[in-house]
Amino acid sequence: MDMNDHQVHIDEHRDDEGAKTGMWIFIFTELLLFGGLFIAYSVYRYLNPLAFHLAAEELDTTLGTINTVILLVSSMTIAMSISAMQYKNKKLTLIFMTITLLLALAFMVNKYFEWSGKISHGIYPGSMTLQEASRGELLFFGLYYAMTGLHALHIVIGMAFIGYVMHLVIKNEVQHDNFAILENSGLYWHLVDLIWIFLFPLFYLIT
């Protein structure tokens, strides 16, 4: 969402409230995008309760918990960067944004080890192991890769967004009286966090 749309020919038009409204609606569309996958998950879990139970035990709850903590803390740090901006502390803003990015990176590293662990055990879509597995297990792992994969993609997009806003902060284009885009990047990051809050129990905890 570009909040500072001004062009060569049109008077500068700035509407922070409008920019945030746009972001909220966009977040809603993201929830619906995942909603389709959540529907598929509920339907198939309802049809294959036992297989989903068995398959979920394959997942590493510890890694999942660590990643949950990482994301929750990163949500806090991005919120703190906004507060720091309101207190006109540019340096602190940038520090908190950097911490957020590092935490996001840690999440991705964790995810990498988790996925490669699964793949080395022969659990991935189209693998020989899964072709012999039951219908429900097949669906569970299909959904697992699709949903956590789509979520990971959102992490990457969120990192790019926060990185871009950091660039604007460094150039002083985002300041204490003009930080709607920073708030929007924070909103987006909370969304990414929120989706994980639902993915984590659905795949790791409910066994």
Interface with another protein (CB under 8 A): 1-2, 5, 7-11, 13, 15, 17-19, 21-22, 25-26, 28-30, 32-37, 39-40, 43-44, 47-48, 125-126, 135-136, 138-139, 142-143, 145-146, 150
Q: How far is the CB of 110 from another protein (least distance, A)?
A: 22
Q: How far is CA 123 from CA 115, 133, 137, 149, 150, in A?
A: 9, 10, 10, 15, 18
CB of 101 to another protein, least distance (A): 25
87 or 112: whose CB is closer to another protein?
Answer: 112
Contact, 24 vs 6, CB < 8 A? no
Query: Is 63 or 150 the residue whose CB approaches another protein more closely?
Result: 150
Closer CB to another protein, residue 133 or residue 166? Answer: 133
In this complex, which beta carbon is closest to another protein, that of residue 2 or of residue 177? 2
- For residue 52, the minimal CB distance to another protein (Å) is 11
Q: Specify the residue, 138 or 166, whose C-beta has the smaller distance to another protein.
A: 138
Strand (E) or helix (H) holding 137? helix 135-170
Q: Write down the least CB distance from residue 126 to another protein, Å.
A: 4
Q: Which class for 11: exposed (0-12), middle (13-18), buried (19 or more C-beta within 10 A)? A: exposed
Question: How many C-beta atoms lie closer than 10 Å to residue 6's C-beta?
Answer: 11
What is the identity of the amino acid at 103?
L
Q: How far is the CB of 92 from another protein (least distance, A)?
A: 30
Element (H, E) at 16: helix 16-47
What SS3 state is found at 178? Answer: strand
Q: Are 96 and 162 in contact (CB under 8 A)?
A: no
Question: Minimum distance between the CB of residue 96 and another protein, rounded to whole angstroms?
Answer: 27
- Residue 19 or residue 159: which is nearer to another protein going by CB? 19
What residues contact residue 60 under an 8 Å CB cut-off, 6+ apart? 114, 117, 204
